[in-house]
Structure 1
Amino acid sequence: MENKTFIENVKLLLQMHAEGLLGGEIMPEDALIGIVPKDDLMNVLTLGMALNYQRNSYKLWESVAQAYLDKSSRWIFNPKVVSESNLDELRSILVYYRVALQPNRHPEIWQRVSKGITQSSQRGDVIGLIESAQFDIAILKSIMEINRKPEFPYLSGPKIFNYWLYAMEAYTGVCWRSRELITIAPDTHILKASVNLGLCSSEVLDGSSDNRQVVAKSWEKALIDSELSPIDVHTPLWLWSRAGFPPLSV
């Protein structure tokens, strides 16, 4: 497919999304809206995202919202408090609300990420981490994907890291420097949609790390000079796949 035709199809998909024609407008993280105040949203989104790996995203965020509603358990979303907490107490809450599905590994990751946030920020929270990186994605990538990678399991992977950047922008209003560095977050729906649009061959559907990188790089290349960033098409592609790929028309 010629790139001009491809870009026209992408823009048509964006228009369908803007006009509400893709259905499923409720995104998983929307479960936090009206429950988590803006002051806590960065911490909640970040810690919840750290466990968003090969599981039902809607159920994860519903569980996170329920845990936050319980004032006695709300401390689990404070990175500084969590980093100094008793792991068994943390585990009991995360497992009770089914935020953690793996009773050993998930609470350990939650606490490790909390320590990573605390140690990377004078404030001890996510906004402090972002401020320490001067809102620059290049610096943040260096911190989370290289210098402190062991402290950010899952979250430092390209799929979740890039979606986390997008979620920070979409839900908390962060204005990133080097926004063009946010690549598309190639989950299963993005892989399917990319194949359906003719951007990639069906070989990428096996979901290997290499093939996810192929898809991400393909989107970067395809959108050069289009005035679109790869992350701009993430939600429309995701919803298009979930809707069963309705024809591109408005």
Structure 2
Amino acid sequence: MSIVIDNQRGKKVAELLYNSFSTMGIHGRTDMPEDITPNSVVRGSLDHILFITLTVSIDYQRDALSLWESSRKTFDNPETRYLFDPKLLHETPFRKIVDDMQKYKLSKKPQKDANIWRTVGVTFYTKWEGDPRNFLKNCNWDSPLILERLRKDTHLYNGRLVPDYPYLRGSKIGPLWLRMLRDNVGITQLRNLEKVPIPVDIHVARATLTTGVVRGSIEIRSNKMFEYIRKAWFESVKGLSVKNRPMIALDVDEPLWHLSKYGCSYRNKITGYCPVSNRCEAREFCIKGRIEIENSIVKLET
């Protein structure tokens, strides 16, 4: 059983994918599902921040395209618009929140998703005057501290301590939220983003493995493999620069996601044959061999 992190290969892949995504696109695309705002929302406004924050809090085991489309439809309907208002979430019966989150399929797991959504929203209402920026400011805009507070902050509910930010505190969603606050909302005050790990989902994982940045012969739990992937991108971007600043791991999140979503997803898991490789921007790095990510297990023979 062996595993290799190839940082030199990672540097080349990071540079290639970032430049491709910033210009021609990857598999012809330069957009992300969260880029489109609801009809009446101004980029950078409080409405935009709450739209991004609450939607990303239930971004687990979901198809991103359908999640963000459902969220926009929910926001655009005056009858369900209240779901994005922390004060109104606090005042609305839970049963109604459950029902209204199902109108446009915003929730896949009705009780669980509504509980996550309401808890996050009500936390911002009761502790931060309904504005996530007050929380960020209280953390001195320090990204590692924000992630730590997301994980640790709790409140008393029915006699027991429960997390303030369920799922928003997760190892994927926390960093993803910070990237969206930077890239989508346009919050420039966030500091030390270079210390934030790349948000690893199945697409970022698959693209990292198919380009050979992490490779080897191993069967391993996906959460352990994700640790290797986070380390690989922390190391690989060192010394690279974009837009007159140092490149950071978060910069390759979107390019990797696109590479997998519209490319590596079609690859044969056993042989490594990919039917779209002839038009893939990263084809020179495509590695042959077995790459399976299923049921929280990664099987690698590359």
TM-score normalised according to structure 2 size? 0.75
Greater share of residues in strand: 2
Q: Secondary structure at the match of 1:201?
A: strand
Q: Deviations over 1:135-164 (max 9, x none)?
A: 221321222112337121211111111111
- The AA in structure 1 aligned to 2:32 is M
Greater share of residues in helix: 1
Q: Of 152, 162, 176, which aligns to 1:163?
A: 176
CA distance in structure 1 between the aligned counterparts of 2:22 and 2:145, rounded to whole angstroms: 32
Q: For structure 1, which runs of at least 5 residues remain unmatched after alignment?
A: none
- The count of residues paired between Structure 1 and Structure 2 equals 249
C-alpha spacing 1:232/1:203, structure 2 compared with 1 (3 Å): farther
Match of 1:44?
A: 51
Match of 2:202?
A: 188
**Percent of pairs identical after alignment?**
24
Match of 1:152?
A: 165
CA distance in structure 1 between the aligned counterparts of 2:247 and 2:218, rounded to whole angstroms: 23
Residue 13 of structure 2 is aligned to residue 13 of structure 1? no
C-alpha spacing 1:201/1:130, structure 2 compared with 1 (3 Å): same
Residue 187 of structure 2 is aligned to residue 174 of structure 1? yes
Residue 256 of structure 2 is aligned to residue 237 of structure 1? yes
Q: Of 11, 29, 33, which aligns to 1:28?
A: 33
C-alpha spacing 1:88/1:158, structure 2 compared with 1 (3 Å): same
Q: Secondary structure at the match of 2:80?
A: helix
Match of 2:142?
A: 136
Q: Of 107, 116, 133, which aligns to 1:100?
A: 107
Q: Which moved more, 1:204-213 or 1:72-81?
A: 204-213
CA distance in structure 2 between the aligned counterparts of 1:2 and 1:181, rounded to whole angstroms: 20
CA distance in structure 1 between the aligned counterparts of 2:257 and 2:123, rounded to whole angstroms: 30
CA distance in structure 1 between the aligned counterparts of 2:220 and 2:91, rounded to whole angstroms: 40
Q: Secondary structure at the match of 1:120?
A: helix
CA distance in structure 2 between the aligned counterparts of 1:33 and 1:238, rounded to whole angstroms: 23
Matches within 5 A, 1:218-233: 218-226=232-240, 227-233=246-252
Q: Secondary structure at the match of 2:163?
A: helix
8 Å Cα contact 2:206-2:260 kept in structure 1: yes
- The AA in structure 2 aligned to 1:18 is S
C-alpha spacing 1:6/1:180, structure 2 compared with 1 (3 Å): closer
Q: Of 195, 213, 223, which aligns to 1:199?
A: 213
Match of 1:124?
A: 130
Matches within 5 A, 1:206-225: 208-225=222-239
Q: Secondary structure at the match of 2:282?
A: coil
8 Å Cα contact 1:191-1:204 kept in structure 2: no
Q: Which moved more, 1:101-110 or 1:218-227?
A: 218-227
Q: Which moved more, 1:26-35 or 1:178-187?
A: 26-35
Q: Deviations over 1:108-153 (max 9, x none)?
A: 11111112222431x2222222222222213212221123371212
8 Å Cα contact 2:144-2:192 kept in structure 1: yes
- The AA in structure 2 aligned to 1:8 is K
CA distance in structure 1 between the aligned counterparts of 2:30 and 2:220, rounded to whole angstroms: 27
How much has 1:34 moved relative to structure 2?
4.5
8 Å Cα contact 2:38-2:73 kept in structure 1: no
C-alpha spacing 1:50/1:202, structure 2 compared with 1 (3 Å): farther
- The AA in structure 2 aligned to 1:248 is A
8 Å Cα contact 1:35-1:65 kept in structure 2: no
CA distance in structure 1 between the aligned counterparts of 2:141 and 2:60, rounded to whole angstroms: 25
How much has 1:10 moved relative to structure 2?
2.1
C-alpha spacing 1:50/1:5, structure 2 compared with 1 (3 Å): closer
Q: For structure 2, which runs of at least 5 residues remain unmatched after alignment?
A: 155-161, 241-245, 265-279, 285-302
Q: Which moved more, 1:202-211 or 1:150-159?
A: 202-211
Q: Which moved more, 1:167-176 or 1:218-227?
A: 218-227
Match of 2:87?
A: 80
Q: Secondary structure at the match of 2:36?
A: helix
TM-score normalised according to structure 1 size? 0.89
CA distance in structure 2 between the aligned counterparts of 1:222 and 1:26, rounded to whole angstroms: 24
